[in-house]
A and B are shown apart, each in its own frame.
Chain A
Amino acid sequence: MKREHDVRALLRWYPKDWRDRYGEEFVALVHDSVGEGTITLSLRRSIAISGLLERSHHSGLIGERSTVPVQRRTGSLVVLVAWAVMSVGGLSLFKSAEHFSNALPTSARTVPQVAYDVVAAAGILGSLLVVIGAGIAMPALIRFLRGGGWLDVRNVFAGLMLTGVVLAGATIGLGIWAHHLTWAQRNGADSLYAAAFVLYVFEVVVSIGVAIRATIVVVTKLDLSPGVLRSESIVALGVCAATLAVAASSVVWWFQMSLHAPWFLRGTVPGVAVSPWSMPMIVASSIMLVAMTGALFGASRVAVSYRRAH
């Protein structure tokens, strides 16, 4: 009985459609293969990898086994997820770059200022495109909810609301606290505030994760017409371009700051010769690199879906 439960638990690596079609015979095969023995770790790993591969094919993430609409929708969602990740990287950059122009000699301000402005403009543009994408899908969402879909997604919405409320509370609370602190206390001198800020960043990341999950769960249930999917995929390509612009401009900004004011990046005394490799910038750049790779991958899936359609 425990074995049966164990094998069925492993089946959860596979998509539901696959489980409905092959689940019973797969369970029988694992029983026949293992006999009286135990399900080894390598067998578990093998089933997990096969299941994830099947899920990836099924969702249109890899290969060409899914339909064109599914592949197009998945590609667009990957770009959206990449944009959410890029937002975290972009916000880290903005936090690190506060008052950066004061640290630069007047003659060296133009290029980093332009790069910073491009990051801001691309960030606003990308966010606007995401809002437009959400607007395009709104009629399908309303149809879905009115058609009884609410019961399918209410738990997802509840989770989203809960994290939203917690995040709003944390933002207001931290904001009030920060208002009563000096600049030095806000930037590491007050260890209690620093710990709270780390927790706040964690909450932001969790909230973004919950929002991404909710979006994926809901969007994959929507009945999107070919026209809506085409519009969404064009929006996704625009978001991908914004992601690339943010990443490229951030690199230019970082390079310029490391040339003219590396001490600013390290938070040390002006004029001191230091390495520009500051931890916050390395973390922000790594996040942006991940986001850029994801956006390019998603955009490539969208592009391939157009090639397949012709």
Chain B
Amino acid sequence: MSEYNDILNQFREEEPPIIELEGVSKAYQKDVDAIKDVSFSIKKGEFVFIVGKSGSGKSTLIKLLLRAISPTKGKIYVNGRELSRMHRTSIPKLRRKIGVVFQDFKLLNDRNVFENVAFAQRVIEKSAREINRNVPAVLSVVGLSDKYNSLPNELSGGEKQRVAVARALVNNPMILLADEPTGNLDPKNSWEIMTLLGEINKRGTTVIVVTHNEEIVNVMQKRVIKMENGHLVSDVRKGGYENET
């Protein structure tokens, strides 16, 4: 098996990165950089933690990757396309390649589990037949096959986050971006969600998790990019929260 892993890793090394940042800075106000001169690349199929304290620039990074904002300096490539050169009408297509999961779940409380997940498909104009096929499949992946008709307020925090993950996955994104996905969950549910994200990664989806949950980062031993005051201070291939460069 290890031989295959080496071959696969070598193949991945040669592949162009799915995400690449080249000297990216973002200033919301003049001379106050939220992130400064950040460069890194992420290969297809990687699992990456981005860690750092509040105000370290993690949220800015997410906004930049979703092209909700543009960098003041530098270039960002997603799947080979430079984001700042992208016409605004192409932005929705970019976002369909990136599934996003948030700390506060961002579910529609007036719609049941099925409709919350189906919503992502309706937005990209999928047919009812496709929705009826894809939504149950993804709900099965996240272990919510028995909760189709439940409303969000009838679910536990962990279940809500599973719905959010299902919604992010249903459109088959290349990248899954999770912003503090365990921030509102107890340790048990946190581990369940992280295990789920690990499984999704094994199926080939690139997973980026922004977190400051030290325990999870330390135990999972994945690549860790650490941000501090807007600077990238370390990038460790298999590391923990406090790894040094």
The reply to whether chain A is a binding partner of chain B is: no
Residues of A at the B interface (CB closer than 8 Å) are none
Residues of B at the A interface (CB closer than 8 Å) are none
